Amino acid sequence: MAHGPSENFFSRWLFSTNHKDIGTLYLWFSFAMFLLGGAFAMVIRAELFQPGMQLIKPEFFNQMTTMHGLVMVFGAIMPAFVGLANWMIPMMIGAPDMALPRMNNLSFWILPFAFAILVSTLFMEGGGPNFGWTFYAPLSTTYAPDTVNYFIFGVHIMGASSIMGSINIIATVMNMRAPGMTYMKMPLFVWTWVITAFLLVAVMPVLAGAVTMMLMDINFGTSFFDAAGGGDPVLFQHVFWFFGHPEVYIIILPAFGVVSQIIPTFSRKPLFGYSSMVYATASIAFLSFIVWAHHMFTVGMPIAGELYFMYATMLIAVPTGVKVFNWVTTMYKGALTFETPMLFSIAFVILFTFGGFTGMMLSIAAADTQYHDTYFVVAHFHYVMVAGAVFSGTAAVYYWLPKWCGRMYDETMGKVQFWIAFIAFNITFMPQHFLGLAGMPRRYSDYGLQFADWNMVSSIGAFLYGGAQLLFLYNVIRTIGWGKPIDDPKVWDGAEGLEWTLPTPAPFHTFSTPPVVK
Amino acid sequence: MGESTVHRGVLVKSLIGAVLMFMFAIFVLPPLYDLFCEITGIGGKTAGAYTATDIKVDTSRQVEVQFVATNNATMPWDFYPVEHKVLVHPGESREIVFYAKNLTGKDMVGQAIPNVLPNNAADYFHKTECFCFNNQPLAAGDEADLAVVFIIDPDLPASVNTVTLSYTIFDITDRVSTQVSQLQ
Amino acid sequence: MSKRAKALFLSFLSAATLLLVTGTAGADESTWNLNMPRGVTEVSQAAYDIHMIMMWICTVIGVLVFGFMFYVMFAHRKSRGVTAANFHENLTVEILWTVVPALILIVMAVPATTALLKVYDTDNPDIDIKVTGYQWKWQYEYIGEDVKFMSELRTSQDEQYGRSPKGEHYLREVTQPLVIPVNKKVRFLITGNDVIHSWWVPDFAVKRDAIPGLFTAAWAKTDQPGVYVGACTELCGKDHSRMPVVVEVKEEAEYAAWLAGKKEEAVLYKSTIGKQWTNEELMAKGEAVYGVSCAGCHQSAGEGIAGVFPALVGSSIVTGPIEDHIGILINGVAGSAMQSFADQLSEVDIAAVIHYKRNSWGNDVGDMVQPIDILNYKQNQ
């Protein structure tokens, strides 16, 4: 079976069962979705540049906020990390490919269809989904546009894709490790992904259940979420967040893994507290199942419930703190250099921690009464999601791209991109904390004059941040096509792990005979 | 071949896990949530009809019970409590009345959904009779006095002095079309 | 590079800290607001205090951790000729940095719990007000007082779409504010009519979701008269940002006078309902009602939005039999954005707006409808 990729472009990419090709497909797809979701964000920020409705109608604005959230979470961030997993996990554990290559092909190729369906609703009569990415009933059921059925169908396909992708990762890691690669020797990126995969298998079906109940309420006269028929709209929120809270950790855990690979490399020192990192990741995953209702502090739960969810949520700070301390201590007494992947990783640690601080503030139920559903929350989760997932994803691409294509990216351009992104990110989202505290609710298509100044600052930052992504795209294309060729297997002098023992660029098939790990 | 069986094992187990979680979300979570609500009073839901056992009336204490009514969405009935509040002793059985009138020219069916505030009082608010146990058909232009008989449990926490019983009335005519035809 | 990196990191951090610090000073009506208002109730002040405690704890931890990190980034750079150490665990520090944060959390849980208990202390209110969220307005009902009214956005479409300059209170003004007295414990019973809304007054730290079929409670008691502006904070459709909450806190005597006035208004209104209105009166009244209650969806010239909100120009309902037209306003259309206006608009308003629609933008039905017809329709259906 030792042959190269198919010569025919279509059969190579459409029928690919090669983990590297599928990884590449996932990464390009996610970048395309990232640009699309980013374009939606630009529309939002352009409309919010000034008070008053200048560019779009309020109903279209709601479609934009909804689609921005859905596309970014399900189209950009999750596939990006699945792509990285496809590329790196077999190389990191010494496996020749993923365990279930044909399913791997299927789980990728249904994704473009899911998003084609979802995005096409924007052009249909009645417009696309306009009920927020959290799609609370009854706004998303009784009061939804007719296109909600396409939305539900799209979510089902995405869910199926994620579940198949996760099963593949679980099977690969459980069965295909090289001899001697014990669980506690696996790179942290592999660890975080296995835990993520288990989370996905557990909660994506819950999301599927939530949208199925919606579907039945809308089309078949049941009343899961309709109080008139004995249901309860609050039940929807419980089911949604039972999925939704693990979901945010699904997004952030692989990011932890990436950063835990990069910081040791550029510190030239092994990761500090490897086993505590593993345990911390596992406990964060566990905690994610028992804190969901902290998203619902204003629905009027009994005080006992509110206290419980507050305490449980505060607990998350402990394992998360352990991770941050470990990263910082890994750098301590290392020999640090600051190449682009390291810059993005350090920015990740700082900004993610900042998002963690606001997260702790949000966990305090009495204060959350004031923060809930304001721009403070928007700022909080963009610090965690953008600075967390997107920064670490960018770091990962810069870190592994030379290995993938055997060409070096332009370091200066990478650093320029980093500084623009870092500064623009903070210009965009730091003021949103102030807006939220001053009283601006989220998902507002228009606002009072007292919020005008910070909104303008935030919009300017957003445009800059969007520009930085175009620079990223350019740098990646330039590297693949015209970058300086390299052939050092290690690429980075401090890099450790099986993937760096392979030739650069990584050949189409690797580890056909498993390496032995001492 | 042996290897692919191993993979299939993981695949099958994970798929079963996923399907079980899906079933859990649809078939277990909603009833579990209802049960949880009843036990803890989340959402101020109250249990079904209460069969009175001999509860001692606690004359040393008085609780103010308030009544609130609201119409959902397109429900065009007049619907309000005849008295806004009563003072009762815990343990004492009391009947109060909500007035409903179908203002429209068509026969309709309403369903009232009860709520008790504060949440921690829901467990101690017993309804021995309530119009909310059934739906309420009203012919065009008809009016009705809808009765609730309730007892406040003497075990009501001492910190609670005001209990609010509220009803939201929904138009469920389309759901129960057969009953409408019976009205003719 | 790394030097510049450090400088920028540091300046970012200090700027952030500075902003937080100046935020505490809090300039009142500045448009560069940084911090949460302290508010005027016990609950809002408790929320503010716990917010500040948390912020300072986080700031201190942040300064310590990042301070150490910046020191490392400065001192242990390869360019300074250091060689990397090789240690990778230390059980003592690992236990230490698990236990210490846990202890800090336990300490923080105490004020957090006390503050939450205050939020839930809704017992023994002096006044009860039912707050109902509608798409996209609020209804306030003073329980036991027979006073009930709608509170809608007053800002005109022209201001929103830039056809006229924006007023000082852009999107913060309503037709009728909620009025409450000072020094009385007011309990809000909050519910939703159609979708979920959320009723928020920052200065009271009252934010409760308004959920159809469910009631939630919150309370406020303040000794400071004034006007407090809030908002809807749960996405509820297209005009989510156009249903502000305005609460006026009045001295007790003023409140009593206001309440008496409201009751009188209702009585007076009932007595004028039988009056015969002229075409001009109905058209003028109808145009005003249309602008506030209908134009949001059906658009200012009745053209609607294709596929979402039907046009009224030439519509079969608007130009058809008047009973059907009245019926649709009174009963709404189930499962659509067209709600029942029976409770939301007075008989006069309904009659006027129907007359206006039937005789504007090229619609030329020419019939007349009087408020008394609406009342009769309601009663005799």
- Could you write out the DSSP letters of every residue in A59-99? HHHHHHHHHHHHIIIIIIIHHHHHHHHHHHHHHHHT-SS-S
pTM of the model: 0.88
Note the pLDDT of residue C89: 84
Residue A262 corresponds to which tokens in the numbers above? 């990069």
For residues B83 and B142, state if they share a domain. Answer: yes
Could you say which architecture CATH assigns to the domain A36-501?
Up-down Bundle (1.20)
For residues B117 and B59, state if they share a domain. Answer: yes
For residues B70 and B116, state if they share a domain. Answer: yes
For residues C278 and C350, state if they share a domain. Answer: yes
Distance (Å) from the C-alpha of residue B44 to the closest C-alpha of chain C? 8
Range of the domain at C16: 2-119
In the numeric block, the tokens 């503010």 are attached to C48
C118: buried, middle or exposed (CB in 10 Å: 19+, 13-18, 0-12)? middle
Give how many domains chain C has, as a whole number. 3
Query: Looking at residue C226, what DSSP letter applies?
Result: E
For residues B33 and B85, state if they share a domain. Answer: no
For residues C131 and C115, state if they share a domain. Answer: no
What spatial distance separates the first Cα and last Cα of chain B, rounded to whole Å? Answer: 72
Distance separating alpha carbons of residues A139 and A350, to the nearest angstrom? 37
Note the pLDDT of residue C10: 47
* Least trusted range by pLDDT, from A406-415, C13-22, C104-113: C13-22
Average pLDDT of the residues in C103-121: 91
Closest by alpha carbon to B35, among C194, A291, C209, A238?
A238
Residue B8 corresponds to which tokens in the numbers above? 């299939």
Within a 10 A sphere around the Cβ of C62, how many other Cβ atoms? 18
Picking from C226, C254, C282, the residue at the C-terminal end of a domain is C254
Note the pLDDT of residue C15: 52
| Chain B contact present for C123, CB below 8 A | yes
Residue type, C73: M
For residues C88 and C161, state if they share a domain. Answer: no
For residues B89 and B22, state if they share a domain. Answer: no
Picking from C224, C254, C284, the residue at the C-terminal end of a domain is C254
Of the ranges A24-38, A292-306, A502-516, B87-101, which is most confident? Answer: A24-38
Ramachandran angles phi, psi of B135, nearest 5°: -85, 165
Distance separating alpha carbons of residues C193 and C136, to the nearest angstrom? 10
For residues C221 and C308, state if they share a domain. Answer: no
In a domain, C265, yes or no: no
Residue A39 corresponds to which tokens in the numbers above? 């374009």
Q: Are strands C226-232 and B125-130 parallel, antiparallel or unpaired?
A: unpaired
- E-only strand ranges, A122-189: none
| CATH code for the domain in which residue C181 is found | 2.60.40.420
Distance separating alpha carbons of residues A266 and A330, to the nearest angstrom? 10
Note the pLDDT of residue C381: 58
Q: Do A170 and B72 touch (CB under 8 A)?
A: no
Average pLDDT of the residues in A170-199: 94
In the numeric block, the tokens 């994506």 are attached to A204
Residue A259 corresponds to which tokens in the numbers above? 């950063």
* Least trusted range by pLDDT, from A126-130, A172-176, B60-64, B179-183: B179-183
Note the pLDDT of residue C26: 39
Average pLDDT of the residues in A251-273: 95
Residue A364 corresponds to which tokens in the numbers above? 């305090």
Task: Give me the residue from C169, C190, C231 closest to A439, CB to CB.
Answer: C231
| pLDDT band at residue B130 under the 50/70/90 scheme | confident
| Chain A contact present for C122, CB below 8 A | no
A299-302 — which CB contacts under 8 Å span 24+ positions? A299/A234, A299/A237, A299/C209, A299/C211, A299/C216, A300/B43, A300/B119, A300/C190, A300/C208, A300/C209, A300/C211, A300/C214, A300/C216, A300/C217, A301/B42, A301/B119, A302/B40, A302/B41, A302/B42, A302/B119, A302/B120
For residues B105 and B138, state if they share a domain. Answer: yes
Note the pLDDT of residue A466: 94
Residue with the bigger pLDDT between A472 and B141: it is: A472
What spatial distance separates the first Cα and last Cα of chain A, rounded to whole Å? Answer: 28
Of the ranges B119-128, C237-246, C285-294, C314-323, which is most confident? Answer: C237-246
pLDDT in tens, B48-68: 666 666 677 888 888 999 999
For residues B128 and B143, state if they share a domain. Answer: yes
pLDDT in tens, A116-160: 999 999 999 888 999 999 999 889 998 888 899 999 999 999 999
Closest by alpha carbon to A466, among A37, A84, A54?
A37
Task: Say whether pLDDT at C274 is over 80.
Answer: no
For residues C172 and C205, state if they share a domain. Answer: yes
pLDDT in tens, A207-234: 999 999 999 999 988 888 888 877 889 9
For residues C115 and C44, state if they share a domain. Answer: yes
In a domain, C170, yes or no: yes
Task: Say whether pLDDT at C267 is over 50.
Answer: yes
Taken in order A198, A203, A208, A209, is the CA torsion positive or negative? positive
In the numeric block, the tokens 């990190």 are attached to C69
Average pLDDT of the residues in A502-511: 90
For residues B59 and B103, state if they share a domain. Answer: yes
Distance (Å) from the C-alpha of residue B160 to the closest C-alpha of chain C? 6
- E-only strand ranges, A279-424: 407-408
Distance (Å) from the C-alpha of residue C212 to the closest C-alpha of chain B? 7
Give partners of C (≥3 CB pairs < 8 A).
A, B
Residues 6+ apart with CB under 8 A from B126: B46, B50, B52, B150, B151, B152, B153
Distance separating alpha carbons of residues C20 and C35, to the nearest angstrom? 8
Interface test with A, best of C240, C303, C305, C308 (most A CBs within 10 A): C240
C274: buried, middle or exposed (CB in 10 Å: 19+, 13-18, 0-12)? exposed
Residue C4 corresponds to which tokens in the numbers above? 């510049």
Q: Do B117 and C122 touch (CB under 8 A)?
A: yes
Interface test with A, best of B11, B71, B74, B75 (most A CBs within 10 A): B11
For residues B64 and B26, state if they share a domain. Answer: no
Picking from C119, C144, C165, the residue at the C-terminal end of a domain is C119
Note the pLDDT of residue C222: 94
CB A382 within 8 A of CB A465: no
Range of the domain at B19: 2-40
For residues B35 and B51, state if they share a domain. Answer: no
Task: Say whether pLDDT at A78 is over 50.
Answer: yes
Using left for φ > 0, alpha for ψ between -120 and 50, and beta otherwise, residue A126 falls in: left
Interface test with A, best of C88, C114, C190 (most A CBs within 10 A): C88
Residues 6+ apart with CB under 8 A from B76: B103, B104, B171, C330, C331, C332, C340, C342
Q: Residue-wise over B77-87: b if at least 16 C-beta within 10 A, else e?
A: bbbbbeeebee
Distance separating alpha carbons of residues A448 and B46, to the nearest angstrom? 42
Task: Say whether pLDDT at A2 is over 60.
Answer: no
Task: Say whether pLDDT at C334 is over 80.
Answer: no
Reported as type and span, the H/E element at residue C167 is none
Within a 10 A sphere around the Cβ of A146, how many other Cβ atoms? 13
Closest by alpha carbon to C361, among C289, C300, C307, C310?
C300
Give how many domains chain B has, as a whole number. 2
Within a 10 A sphere around the Cβ of A477, how many other Cβ atoms? 11
Distance separating alpha carbons of residues A351 and A422, to the nearest angstrom? 9
For residues C145 and C250, state if they share a domain. Answer: yes
| Chain B contact present for C321, CB below 8 A | no
* Least trusted range by pLDDT, from A171-180, A283-292, A380-389, B99-108: B99-108
Instruction: Tell me the H-state helices in A332-390.
Output: 340-363, 365-371, 375-384
| pLDDT band at residue C1 under the 50/70/90 scheme | very low
Task: Say whether pLDDT at B2 is over 80.
Answer: no
Within a 10 A sphere around the Cβ of C34, how many other Cβ atoms? 21
Note the pLDDT of residue B4: 73
* Least trusted range by pLDDT, from A357-361, A368-372, A491-495, C357-361: C357-361
pLDDT in tens, A403-448: 999 999 999 999 999 999 999 999 999 999 999 999 999 999 999 9
Task: Say whether pLDDT at A371 is over 90.
Answer: yes
For residues C250 and C131, state if they share a domain. Answer: yes
DSSP secondary structure string, C294-306?
THHHH-TTS--BT
Distance separating alpha carbons of residues C358 and C362, to the nearest angstrom? 9
For residues C159 and C241, state if they share a domain. Answer: yes
Task: Say whether pLDDT at B26 is over 80.
Answer: yes
Reported as type and span, the H/E element at residue A196 is helix A188-219
Longest dimension (CA), chain C: 96
Residue C200 corresponds to which tokens in the numbers above? 């928020």
Residue C72 corresponds to which tokens in the numbers above? 């490392």
* Least trusted range by pLDDT, from A404-413, B26-35, C121-130: B26-35
Angle at C188 between CA C187 and CA C193, to 5 degrees: 160
The mean pLDDT value of chain A amounts to: 93
In a domain, C208, yes or no: yes
Task: Tell me which chain B residues have a C-beta less than 8 angstroms from the C-beta of A229.
Answer: 111, 172, 175
Q: Are strands C137-142 and C127-134 parallel, antiparallel or unpaired?
A: antiparallel
CB B151 within 8 A of CB B92: yes
3-class SS letters over A441-496: ECCCCCCCHHHHHHHHHHHHHHHHHHHHHHHHHHHHHHHHHHCEECCCCCCCCCCC
Note the pLDDT of residue B53: 66
Of the ranges A405-414, B167-176, C288-297, which is most confident? Answer: A405-414
Residue A100 corresponds to which tokens in the numbers above? 């279930």
**Considering only alpha carbons, which residue of chain C is nearest residue B83?**
C144
